[in-house]
Amino acid sequence: MRRDRRLSAAVGSAVLLSIAVACSNGEHRATSDRSTEAALRASVRVEAEGCTTKALIGAGSFVADGKVLTVAHVVAGADEVHVVLADGSRVDAEVVAIDRLKDLAVLDVDSPTLPLPRGTMRPGTRGSFVVYRNEMPIAQQFEAMSFVDINAPDIDHGGSSLRRGYQLRAQVASGDSGAVLVADGVATGVVFARSTATNGKAWAVDISEADALLAAAAASNDAIDIGECV
């Protein structure tokens, strides 16, 4: 009888553990779903024309009312910039702020798209970012491996620039630059580079590095000098 009680207790503990694990996995899936839905809703495909025979392609997301955050190296020097919204419509965009040292740019876009809130994340956080394959939006998953100081060349190759950001475990391809990392529905970073030596390794700048640009963009919607092509 005592042995039966011990066995019953062990089985009960195992059941409780199983329930706890199932709940934890369910919460993780729910969080992942929220991040994916938010990322897809706010994402855009960026098309910049004028620097090459074909339009340069990147990604971005709404992170303030009427403002899309992307990377500078896609839009620098462009004659025209357009974005493709989540509903598939293609609209004009205007570069209203650019930081060629930290490789960030803000576009003014006439759209009622609900912007993502901005925030931080810790190493180990997982989430989503939206890229485009055959012109269709695809939500990719990422894991923030570490929060680091990134000393990377500026887009004009005139030196390097220090920026705070993340080393990621993520599959990033050409044309994915500007994709905004979304964790639990919050924009946390902007993908700007991938490793050519290690598959599944990439980097993103922390979203806080765009605060000054977004403030400048909010103060004026006028077009600015975006410099030369890269």
Of 3-12, 55-64, 162-171, the range with the lowest mean pLDDT is 3-12
What average pLDDT does the chain have? 88
pLDDT of residue 16: 31
Determine the distance from the C-alpha atom of residue 78 to the mean position of all C-alpha atoms in its chain, rounded to a whole number: 22
Main-chain phi, psi angles of 75, to 5 degrees: -100, -10
CA dihedral 68, 48, 204, 195 (to 10 degrees): 160
107 with 168, same domain? Answer: no
138 with 72, same domain? Answer: no
**What percent of the chain stands above pLDDT 70?**
86
- Does a structural domain hold residue 70? yes
165 with 202, same domain? Answer: yes
8 Å CB contact between 191 and 202: yes
- Does a structural domain hold residue 21? no
Q: Is the pLDDT of residue 106 over 70?
A: yes
147 with 204, same domain? Answer: yes
Q: Tell me how far CA of residue 133 lies from CA of 46, 63, 98, 193, 217, in angstroms.
A: 13, 22, 26, 18, 30
- Reported pTM: 0.86
- Does a structural domain hold residue 10? no
pLDDT of residue 82: 98
pLDDT of residue 157: 87
- What length is written for the chain? 230
Burial of residue 89 (number of CB atoms within 10 Å: 0-12, 13-18, 19+): exposed
176 with 199, same domain? Answer: yes
72-96 pLDDT, tens digit each? 999 999 999 999 999 999 999 999 9
- Does a structural domain hold residue 169? yes
Q: Encode the chain in three state secondary structure.
A: CHHHHHHHHHHHHHHHHHHHHHHHHHHHHHHHHHHHHHHHHHEEEEEEECCCCCCEEEEEEEEECCEEEECHHHHCCCCEEEEECCCCCEEEEEEEEEECCCCEEEEECCCCCCCCCECCCCCCCEEEEEEEECCEEEEEEEEEEEEEEEEEECCCCCCEEEEEEEEEEECCCCCCCCCEEEECCEEEEEEEEECCCCCCEEEEEEHHHHHHHHHHHHHCCCCCCCCCCC
Domain carrying residue 95? 42-113+213-219
- Does a structural domain hold residue 30? no
Q: Which residue has the tokens 């993520």?
A: 170
Please compute the mean of the pLDDT values over residues 5-26 and round it to a whole number. 36
- Does a structural domain hold residue 15? no
131-145 pLDDT, tens digit each? 999 999 999 999 999
- Does a structural domain hold residue 135? yes
Domain with 58 in it: what CATH number? 2.40.10.10
Please compute the mean of the pLDDT values over residues 153-171 and round it to a whole number. 94
- Does a structural domain hold residue 62? yes
101 with 132, same domain? Answer: no
36-55 pLDDT, tens digit each? 988 999 999 999 999 999 99
204 with 153, same domain? Answer: yes
146 with 199, same domain? Answer: yes
Main-chain phi, psi angles of 185, to 5 degrees: 80, 5
95 with 155, same domain? Answer: no
204 with 139, same domain? Answer: yes
174 with 133, same domain? Answer: yes
Total count of domains within the chain? 2
Q: Is the pLDDT of residue 14 over 50?
A: no
